[in-house]
């Protein structure tokens, strides 16, 4: 069972052995939402299912508002706020069942965006109680590099399964919990957005620029080496220890703009041996739309 990363060579071995496996292509582009599906159709790992951030991995076709989230009527209450609110665990389980994913399967998730969007599905499966999920280290580029086969056909037909959520393996934190713990030693916030957005110099997506007071900044791309793969565990551990500067790793809460690019930081901490940490999925997009919450710049 692979639970954090899987190499392209290991994935090829699993596929050759006809393991109980489902591969998910999570490629996406925030500025061009249709681009990910187009890329998937042009080239994907054989048998891969496309997991769309906006429709499969989020609870909405609307936007975050000042007092909550506008969602499609059939989505039900979301599990978080923000630009990409999490669907309920039950709604997510329904989507997994619709594509034929079952509780006894190994999941492998990948993208072609620096292991960014696929981390969302990795975390959601853990949150649904499914431990056998791994990120393809290096993404589609790593698969190409080992001569892995690519397809340009349409998505494979699915047989309905009955995926059942189990007790969560990862913890979700709400806006209220983050706000109540501001400035306390029991909470260390790590913001995964790029430094200019963190500092409040630019803000291309949300109505307010800046960051949550006291948050540390570690852009999610900092976890990858020049080859697009995660850095060695020892290097990641050293870098996070420098960032935390004595703060307890178990106090960490990860966030970003909308709860997506925060996950590579969460995965990196696990690879470094710090154990599971928490995710604030609503992230900056929910925080900055909530009246009365403080904003910091610089």
Distance in angstroms (rounded) separating the CA atoms of residues 294 and 211: 9
Query: Residues 26, 118, 256, 288: which is the catalytic one?
Result: 256
Distance in angstroms (rounded) separating the CA atoms of residues 48 and 92: 18
Place of tokens 């949300």: 206
Please state whether beta strands 252-255 and 188-191 pair in parallel, antiparallel, or not at all (unpaired): parallel
Distances (CA, A) of 279 to 34, 45, 151, 262, 285: 27, 29, 34, 8, 14
Helix segments in 85-232, DSSP class H:
89-98, 117-127, 139-145, 175-180, 195-199
Distance in angstroms (rounded) separating the CA atoms of residues 285 and 287: 6
Q: Is 256 one of the catalytic residues?
A: yes
DSSP designation for 34? T
> 212 and 191 in contact (C-beta within 8 Å)?
yes
Distance in angstroms (rounded) separating the CA atoms of residues 286 and 194: 18
Q: What are phi and psi of 55, to 5 degrees?
A: -110, -40
Distance in angstroms (rounded) separating the CA atoms of residues 24 and 49: 5
Residues assigned a catalytic role? 256
């Amino acid at each position: 069972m692979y639970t954090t990363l899987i190499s392209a060579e290991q994935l090829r071995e699993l596929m050759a052995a006809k393991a109980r496996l489902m591969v998910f292509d999570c490629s996406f582009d925030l500025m061009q939402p249709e681009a990910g599906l187009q890329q998937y159709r042009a080239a994907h790992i054989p048998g891969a299912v496309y997991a769309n951030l906006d429709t499969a991995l989020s609870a909405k076709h609307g936007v975050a508002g000042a007092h909550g989230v506008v969602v499609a009527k059939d989505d039900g209450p979301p599990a978080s706020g923000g630009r990409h609110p999490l669907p309920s665990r039950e709604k997510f389980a329904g989507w997994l069942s619709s594509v034929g994913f079952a509780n006894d399967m190994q999941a492998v998730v990948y993208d072609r965006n620096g292991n960014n969007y696929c981390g969302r599905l990795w975390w959601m499966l853990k949150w649904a109680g499914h431990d056998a999920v791994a990120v393809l280290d290096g993404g589609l580029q790593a698969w190409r590099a080992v001569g892995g086969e690519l397809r340009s056909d349409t998505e494979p037909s699915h047989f309905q399964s009955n995926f059942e959520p189990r007790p969560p393996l990862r913890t979700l934190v709400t806006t209220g919990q983050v706000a109540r713990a501001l400035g306390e030693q029991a909470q260390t916030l790590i913001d995964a957005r790029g430094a200019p957005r963190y500092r409040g110099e630019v803000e291309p997506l949300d109505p307010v620029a800046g960051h949550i007071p006291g948050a540390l900044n570690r852009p999610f791309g900092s976890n990858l080496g020049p080859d697009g793969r995660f850095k060695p565990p020892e290097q990641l551990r050293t870098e996070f220890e420098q960032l935390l500067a004595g703060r307890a790793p178990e106090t960490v809460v990860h966030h970003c703009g909308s709860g997506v690019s925060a996950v590579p930081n969460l995965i990196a901490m696990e690879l470094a041996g710090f154990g599971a940490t928490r995710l604030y999925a609503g992230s900056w997009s929910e925080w900055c739309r909530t009246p009365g919450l403080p904003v910091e710049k610089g």
